[in-house]
Amino acid sequence: QVQLVESGGGLVQPGGSLRLSCAASGPIFRIYVMGWYRQTPGKQRELVATIAHTDRTNYGDSVKGRFTISRENDKQTVSLQMNSLKPEDTAVYYCYLNPGLRDYWGQGTQVTVSS
């Protein structure tokens, strides 16, 4: 019954910005970690950003200083503000949720950075 709904992906020029959002729903008692990973065909899925229930954040090295993850007031929605986007950021971005028992993944949203 747990579901993750992603929004905000699209096409943007290099140097531009996008804001992704992920809303979790279902029988969730506690969200320990929530955030975003990304994957390009032929490459490993990699960490983008996560935020824990303690509000501690973790960022992949390639996005530090450019991306910011935050939790909304309902505590079950996270946003990812992506600034200074590069062509290398092109990937499918997957929302991630860990409520303490197992991992949940969204369907993925495409982000394409191109001129």
**pLDDT tens for each residue of 64-106:** 999 999 998 777 899 999 999 999 999 999 999 998 888 999 9
| Main-chain phi, psi angles of 68, to 5 degrees | -135, 125
Average pLDDT, the chain: 94
**pLDDT tens for each residue of 99-113:** 888 899 999 999 999
| Other Cβ atoms closer than 10 A to 106 | 21
DSSP annotation string for the chain: --EEEEE--EEE-TT--EEEEEEEESS-S--SEEEEEEE-TTS--EEEEEEETT--EEE-GGGTTTEEEEE-TTSSEEEEEE-S--GGG-EEEEEEEE-SS--EE---EEEEE--
Mean pLDDT across 40-54 = 94
Q: What pLDDT is attached to residue 28?
A: 83
Position 3 confidence tier, pLDDT thresholds 50, 70, 90 = very high
Q: What pLDDT is attached to residue 27?
A: 87
Q: Which of 64, 71, 68 is nearest to 81 (CA)?
A: 68
| Main-chain phi, psi angles of 74, to 5 degrees | -75, -5
**pLDDT tens for each residue of 11-30:** 999 999 999 999 999 988 88
